[in-house]
Amino acid sequence: MLKIQSISKAFGGKIVLDNISLEISESELFFLLGPSGCGKTTLLRIIAGLTQPDGGSVVFRGEDITHLPPEKRRLGMVFQNYSLWPHMTVFENVAYGLRRRKDTTDLARRVGEALGVTGLSGFEKRMPGTLSGGEQQRAALARALIYKSDLVLLDEPLSNLDARLRKELRGEIRRIHDELRLTMVYVTHDQEEAAVMSDRVALISQGQVVQTGTFREIRERPANTFVATFIGD
């Protein structure tokens, strides 16, 4: 479904991504895992169209979308810091993207469905400032799901939550993925998240993919000392 082909990126002479290639299948919950600063968020932003690569291509369902603007890519994105408009209700936050696209057919029903899937039915009139961190992240997830996107990107969506909420939302994201059969690309540095949620994992270090496989495969057959040290206890 999604092919990352020889993607490279440098900022100010520093190489952040070095000739990365990956293939992600339909309905897969695929994790980009690695230490802070390894390039995984930059790669996610390139998939989203928020950052342009220096070389390589992004191919989605056979179409080269490398230079396509973000709003023309069939995807939703969930950010680390929620990115909710503080002056808008939950309903208006979730509906915002559809209004911008002038796609308002059955708007109330579609917002209601997205909020229902994420466990926020009845929250339509609430303001973001009255929500807990977990509820804000659910609202951000609903906003990404409302497009009926072919692809959902998640950039460390649980890192700002406490341990109890992280565990709760891990299960919710996995449930939503399985229920809607979405294709998701999920960035994290947390190996526990990758262990309990992922279908497959690409472990990234210093801008390169060092190993790809299921979490169990990587843990039991590490490709090198870095992988064994990062994944192991």
Q: Please give the CATH architecture assigned to the domain spanning 1-74+151-233.
A: 3-Layer(aba) Sandwich (3.40)
Confidence of residue 157 (pLDDT cuts 50, 70, 90): confident
The count of C-alpha atoms lying within 13 angstroms of the C-alpha of 231, restricted to the half-sphere facing its C-beta, is 27
- What is the predicted pLDDT for the residue at 46? 97
Measured CA to CA in angstroms, residue 38 lies from 138, 159, 197, 210 at distances of 27, 17, 21, 11
What pTM was estimated for this model as a whole?
0.89
Q: What is each CA distance from 25 to 4, 28, 114, 143, in whole angstroms?
A: 12, 6, 24, 23
- Model confidence at 161, pLDDT cuts 50, 70, 90, reads confident
Bigger pLDDT: 166 or 42?
42
In the prediction, which pLDDT does 159 show?
Answer: 83
Residue 98 is predicted with a pLDDT of 80
Residue whose entry in the numeric block shows the structure tokens 């293939």:
23
Name the average pLDDT for the chain: 91
Mean predicted confidence (pLDDT) in 73-95: 88
Q: What percent of the chain has pLDDT over 70?
A: 100
Tokens at 137, concatenated: 């992240």
The rounded distance, in Å, linking the Cα atoms of 139 and 119 is 9
Q: What is the pLDDT of residue 73?
A: 84
Domain limits, CATH 3.40.50.300, in the chain: 1-74+151-233
What is the pLDDT at residue 19?
A: 95
pLDDT tens readout for residues 177-209: 998 888 999 999 999 999 999 999 999 999 999
Contacts of 224 (CB under 8 A, 6+ apart): 210, 211
